[in-house]
Amino acid sequence: MPPVTLTWYDGDLKPQRPPEFEDGRKLGDAEDGEGLLFIGDHGTILAGFEGGNPRLIPESKMKAFQPPPKTLPRSIGHYREFIEACKGGSVIRAANLEFESRVTEGVRPGNISLRRGEMVR
């Protein structure tokens, strides 16, 4: 896959408001404006801090979106999966420590930048 540019914003560092955002729309889903913003070549997605309630921007694109059929098994929740795995049940999907260790590696540069007071790109 070709390289991508990731930008981590936190605290007082905020991204520029995308031009396709409707007037009055918050940059995030919480009172403090936390969330995830994915800006791609073909559109923009805004989601909550943990990826919940993803929305295409502008809302007119979301209304026209047809989701693909659900073909993957759904999680019973990462806490429940962890408990089931401890009891000798199925392999953990949502609480997969091997996968999460890679996610943590991606988050570390953001934490380092916060401690240094700089934005990392």
Per-residue model confidence as pLDDT tens digits over 15-54: 888 888 888 777 766 556 678 888 888 888 988 877 888 8
Residues 7 and 34 in one domain: yes
Residues 87 and 59 in one domain: no
Residues 81 and 116 in one domain: yes
Q: Is the pLDDT of residue 95 over 60?
A: no
Residues 57 and 76 in one domain: no
Closest CA to 91 of 73, 113, 66: 73
Q: Which residue has the higher pLDDT, 3 or 25?
A: 3
Residues 44 and 59 in one domain: yes
User: Is the separation of the CB atoms in 36 and 51 below 8 Å?
Assistant: yes
Q: Which residue has the higher pLDDT, 71 or 28?
A: 71
Average pLDDT over residues 53-81: 87
Residues 60 and 76 in one domain: no
pTM (2 decimals)?
Answer: 0.59
Residues 83 and 115 in one domain: yes
Q: Can you give the residue range of the structural domain that contains 119?
A: 69-121
Q: How many domains does the chain have?
A: 2
Residues near 40 by Cβ (< 8 Å), separated by ≥ 6?
none
Residues 46 and 104 in one domain: no
Q: What is the mean pLDDT of the chain?
A: 79
Q: State residue 56's pLDDT score.
A: 92
Residues 8 and 55 in one domain: yes
Residues 57 and 11 in one domain: yes
Q: Which residue has the higher pLDDT, 95 or 16?
A: 16
Residues 83 and 62 in one domain: no
Which structure tokens are listed for 72? 């993957």
Q: Which residue has the higher pLDDT, 90 or 113?
A: 113
